[in-house]
Amino acid sequence: MFQETLLTVVLTIFVVFVSVPPIILIVLYYYDRRQTQHSILRNYPLLGRVRYFLEMVGPEMRQYMFDSDNGGKPFSRIDFQNIVISGKYLKSLIAFGSKRDFNKPGFFLRNSMFPKQREEMRVVTEPRIKTYRYVGTEGLFSRKEHMEEEAVCPWILCEEDAIVIGPDCEQPWFVRGVVGMSGMSFGALGHRAISAMSLGLGKATGTWVHTGEGGLTDYHLLGKGDVIMQIGPGLFGVRNKDGSFSWEKFRAKAQNPQVRMFELKLAQGAKIRGGHLEGSKVTPEIAAIRGVTPWQSIDSPNRHHQFHDLSSLFDFIDELRRAGGKPIGIKIVMGGPDSADDLAQMMAATNRGPDAITVDGGEGGSGATYQEMADTMGLPLHSGLLYLDNALRKYGVRDRVKVFASGKLFTPDRIAIALGMGADLVNIARGMMITVGCIGAQKCHTNKCPVGVATTDPHHQKALVVEEKQWRVLNYIVTLRNGLNSLAAAMGLDNYTQFTREHIVFRDQRGVVQSLMDLFPYPRA
């Protein structure tokens, strides 16, 4: 296979050079000899250009030809396939066997000798939701696939099992599903991607749209579903012209019935700082929403100016809750085993604090960040989630706050493990992006996303058809909830809110298996 691919590349290069008029090759030869920027071209004119050509197409060659099914980073070919098949075909079936390397250390879910029957599960299966999925075959040159209408079970929680966020707030939020959209701003993504997600999630019911720190827009509201509005250190959407916080704009956003919770972004897994948006993506529409100047790059402050410690943070949360009447959450990244101890201790001592905490893992994504931060700053999700849950339990405040988890939780088994480790709900970002067409080109920060997802450029956005992609989003969410329900049934549970550490085991490199409860026992309050 490798030899055939290499031969194809060599022949392609040969054909290209043969087809180029000799006069152009001569001009290039003398130009390369005299230029001072590239050393290899000065010594090897023309041939050096072959090297740069191969270097340029290298990422695509590795992604589609040389990487193994499980080898690609940050998402492998199998990862993409799992997400795409769920959204496109409304299923997650495989044949022959798993491609997981079972000799490597990892987490496993504990099955029950006496699983539940589907009719015994406490989930809502009626009325069914109308959707569309692809049927037929698809070849290289023949496209016989077409969309057919389908009626699917919603797999949402019963009313009595709904997750209640901010029960003491004037307007608590009752959530009927555990999976929703993670924070992705209009600007980081284009309006077509946001619209497709909003419409699909709205049809799925029991889920939510998350604005990211770019502010609330009409595109987030299209699906008529629940919305989490994030307030980042840049205060986009709730700022005055001078950059100060606008209580008037905040109250106006809080009056929208679709906005069910506000989230203060303190940190993000891929960047422990404020957000960045390239000037090429800041259209006049985005600038008006954010209250900034069009076509100029935006860098949010590293932290909010409204607070500087836990006491002032709690004061600001109290003010927001009084002014808006809705739950207030915070988004954090755990830096070590004691990162949340002061937060939980202050909550216990004052009987104050956030209604929800989102813990974002260091493996989380972003449209633009710095390599050194993405690689080493902040704990991965599993560690951060366990230590946050421990801190909240240790100080007796776990029942007062709901925990969201985010960081590559794009399949039912990954979500189940996160729920068992202490999460109540799960946010998904890149899984949603892949569902609406993302191919992992990693050009999010350039405004040249080839599939129209992470771009505000009208030409590139034409690739994304909202009317088709909204159904993929709906199918993806429903398939995730169906998968969670199947896992819960296999483990003998009533629904997918009941995963605990007792239901997870870890197998080490020697083959020794231990319960997660033994490795990380629940602390006593």
pLDDT, position 9: 56
282-312 pLDDT, tens per residue? Answer: 899 998 988 888 888 888 888 889 999 999 9
**CA nearest 257: which of 216, 200, 204, 214?**
216
End of a domain among 63, 96, 116? 63
pLDDT top residue among 464 and 26: 464
Structural domain count, the chain: 2
Q: Which residues fall within 8 angstroms of residue 34, CB to CB, at 6 or more apart?
A: 42
End of a domain among 40, 63, 86? 63
Q: How far apart are the first and last CA of the chain?
A: 59
Average pLDDT, the chain: 89
pLDDT, position 449: 92
φ and ψ at residue 23, rounded to 5 degrees: -60, -35
**CA nearest 283: which of 270, 271, 274, 292?**
292
Report residue 368's pLDDT band, with 50, 70 and 90 as the boundaries.
low
Is 193 within 8 Å of 160 (Cβ atoms)?
no
512 within a domain of the structure (yes/no): yes
47 within a domain of the structure (yes/no): yes
Bridging pattern class, strands 513-515 and 298-299: unpaired
Are residue 54 and residue 179 in the same domain, yes or no? no
DSSP category for residue 179:
E
Report residue 277's pLDDT band, with 50, 70 and 90 as the boundaries.
confident
* Average pLDDT of the residues in 144-148: 89
Identify the domain containing residue 56 by its residue range.
2-63
pLDDT, position 302: 81
Q: What is the CA radius of gyration of the chain?
A: 25
> Which tokens is 256 given?
């929208």
337 within a domain of the structure (yes/no): yes
11 within a domain of the structure (yes/no): yes
Q: How far is CA 281 from CA 185, 222, 449, 467, in A?
A: 12, 22, 11, 24
pLDDT, position 1: 44
CA angle, 428 then 391 then 505, to 5°: 65
Are residue 308 and residue 429 in the same domain, yes or no? yes
Q: Which of 11-20, 309-318, 386-395, 505-514 has the lowest mean pLDDT?
A: 11-20
**For residue 87, pLDDT beyond 80:** yes
392 within a domain of the structure (yes/no): yes
Are residue 242 and residue 355 in the same domain, yes or no? yes
Share of the chain above pLDDT 70, in %: 89
339-351 pLDDT, tens per residue? Answer: 999 999 999 999 9
Chain mean position to CA 46: 43
**CA nearest 465: which of 211, 236, 238, 132?**
132
* Domain of residue 239, CATH code: 3.20.20.70
* Rounded-to-integer distance, Cα 392 and Cα 400, Å: 9
229-243 pLDDT, tens per residue? Answer: 999 999 999 999 888
132 within a domain of the structure (yes/no): no
**For residue 92, pLDDT beyond 70:** yes
* Average pLDDT of the residues in 306-328: 97
Is 392 within 8 Å of 346 (Cβ atoms)?
no
pLDDT, position 319: 98
* Rounded-to-integer distance, Cα 233 and Cα 237, Å: 11
**For residue 62, pLDDT beyond 60:** yes
Highest mean pLDDT range out of 82-96, 120-134, 136-150? 120-134
**For residue 386, pLDDT beyond 60:** yes
Is 217 within 8 Å of 185 (Cβ atoms)?
no
Strands (E), 84-122: 106-109
DSSP category for residue 65:
I
* Rounded-to-integer distance, Cα 368 and Cα 357, Å: 23
Indicate the burial class of 223 (C-beta count within 10 angstroms; 0-12, 13-18, 19 or more): buried
Are residue 496 and residue 384 in the same domain, yes or no? yes
Are residue 55 and residue 175 in the same domain, yes or no? no
pLDDT, position 454: 92
Which residue(s) pair with 276 in the sheet?
A: 299
Are residue 54 and residue 174 in the same domain, yes or no? no
CA angle, 83 then 153 then 358, to 5°: 55
Are residue 59 and residue 168 in the same domain, yes or no? no
Q: Which residues fall within 8 angstroms of residue 313, CB to CB, at 6 or more apart?
A: 264, 307, 330
* Average pLDDT of the residues in 54-80: 72
445-462 pLDDT, tens per residue? Answer: 889 999 999 999 999 999
End of a domain among 28, 63, 98? 63
284 within a domain of the structure (yes/no): yes
403-437 pLDDT, tens per residue? Answer: 999 999 999 999 999 999 999 999 999 999 999 99
Are residue 183 and residue 55 in the same domain, yes or no? no
pLDDT top residue among 95 and 153: 153
* Rounded-to-integer distance, Cα 308 and Cα 91, Å: 47
> Which tokens is 159 given?
């009313």
φ and ψ at residue 225, rounded to 5 degrees: -100, -175
For the full predicted model, state whether its pTM sits above 0.85.
yes
151 within a domain of the structure (yes/no): no
Is 495 within 8 Å of 488 (Cβ atoms)?
yes
Total residues belonging to the chain: 525
Are residue 383 and residue 512 in the same domain, yes or no? yes
Which residue(s) pair with 329 in the sheet?
A: 263, 356
Report residue 271's pLDDT band, with 50, 70 and 90 as the boundaries.
low
* Rounded-to-integer distance, Cα 79 and Cα 85, Å: 10
φ and ψ at residue 387, rounded to 5 degrees: -70, -35
> Which tokens is 89 given?
């075909």
Indicate the burial class of 30 (C-beta count within 10 angstroms; 0-12, 13-18, 19 or more): exposed
Q: How far is CA 406 from CA 142, 283, 504, in A?
A: 39, 29, 19
DSSP category for residue 242:
T
Are residue 350 and residue 238 in the same domain, yes or no? yes
Chain mean position to CA 44: 45
**For residue 2, pLDDT beyond 50:** no
**For residue 370, pLDDT beyond 80:** no
Q: Which residues fall within 8 angstroms of residue 370, CB to CB, at 6 or more apart?
A: 271
